[in-house]
C-alpha cells in the first residue's frame, strides 16, 4: 500500500520499535516496555502516541472485548524507504543518488558493509540486464 509519508517523532519511533519486536500488544504492555515501572501518566503518554500513529496510518487497533490490541501497519524497511524517499523529494528533487552517495562516502563502513553494498549493486545490475 502506498501512502504519503508522514514524519515520525523519536518517541513515536520507540513505540513502533516495541511493536516490531512483538505484536499485537496492549497499551499496558507497550508502556511497561518503554517505561519500567510506568505510572498513569506514562500510560496516557503511550495512549496519545498510539492515537497519533494510528492517525498517521502507521498503527492499527483491534478491540476484543475490553482489550485493545495494537499492531504496526508498516515494517521497519517500509518506514525507512518512505522516509528516505521523502528526504530525497525534499532535498534532492526526488533523486536518491545524492543521499546514497553521501551515506556511503561519509559513513565508516566495515569491510562486511562494503561487501554487502557491492553484492546488492551487482544483484540489481543482473536483474536490470535480465529485464532488458
- Tens-digit pLDDT profile for residues 64-119: 899 999 999 999 999 998 888 888 999 999 898 898 888 888 888 889 988 998 99
Give ∠ CA 85-111-81 in degrees, rounded to 5: 10
- DSSP secondary structure, 59-107, as one string: EEEEEETTEEEEEESS-HHHHHHHHHHHHHHHHSTT-SHHHHHHHHHHS
What CA–CA distance (Å, rounded) separates 20 from 14?
10
pLDDT in tens, 31-50: 999 998 889 999 999 999 99
Pick the CATH number of 1-95 from 3.30.930.10, 2.40.180.10, 2.40.30.20, 1.10.10.10: 1.10.10.10
Compute CA 111 distance to the chain's CA centroid, rounded to the nearest angstrom. 26
pLDDT given at position 107: 84
Q: Say yes or no to pLDDT of 11 above 70.
A: yes
Compute CA 18 distance to the chain's CA centroid, rounded to the nearest angstrom. 11
29-63 burial, b at 16+ Cβ within 10 Å, e below that, comes to bbbbbbeeebeeebbebbeebbebbeebebbeeee
pLDDT given at position 93: 92
What confidence tier does 3 reach under pLDDT thresholds 50, 70, 90? very low
Q: Say yes or no to pLDDT of 4 above 60.
A: no
Q: Where are the domains of the chain?
A: 1-95, 101-132
Q: Say yes or no to pLDDT of 17 above 80.
A: yes
Q: Which residues contact 75 (CB under 8 A, 6 or more apart)?
A: 20
**Residue 63 grid coordinates:** 478491540
Residue 55 and residue 8 in contact, taking contact as beta carbons nearer than 8 Å: no
pLDDT given at position 2: 41
pLDDT given at position 13: 96
Amino acid at each position: 500500500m502506498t501512502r504519503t509519508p508522514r514524519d515520525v517523532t523519536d518517541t513515536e519511533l520507540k513505540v513502533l520499535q516495541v511493536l516490531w519486536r512483538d505484536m499485537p500488544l496492549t497499551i499496558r504492555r507497550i508502556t511497561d516496555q518503554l517505561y519500567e515501572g510506568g505510572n498513569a501518566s506514562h500510560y496516557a503518554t503511550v495512549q496519545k502516541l498510539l492515537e497519533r500513529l494510528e492517525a498517521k496510518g502507521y498503527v492499527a487497533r483491534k478491540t476484543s472485548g475490553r482489550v485493545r490490541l495494537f499492531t504496526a501497519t508498516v515494517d521497519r524497511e517500509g518506514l525507512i524507504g518512505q522516509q528516505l524517499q521523502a528526504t530525497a523529494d525534499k532535498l534532492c528533487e526526488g533523486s536518491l543518488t545524492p543521499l546514497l552517495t553521501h551515506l556511503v562516502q561519509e559513513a565508516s563502513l566495515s569491510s562486511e558493509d562494503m561487501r554487502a553494498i557491492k553484492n546488492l549493486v551487482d544483484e540489481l545490475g543482473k536483474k536490470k540486464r535480465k529485464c532488458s
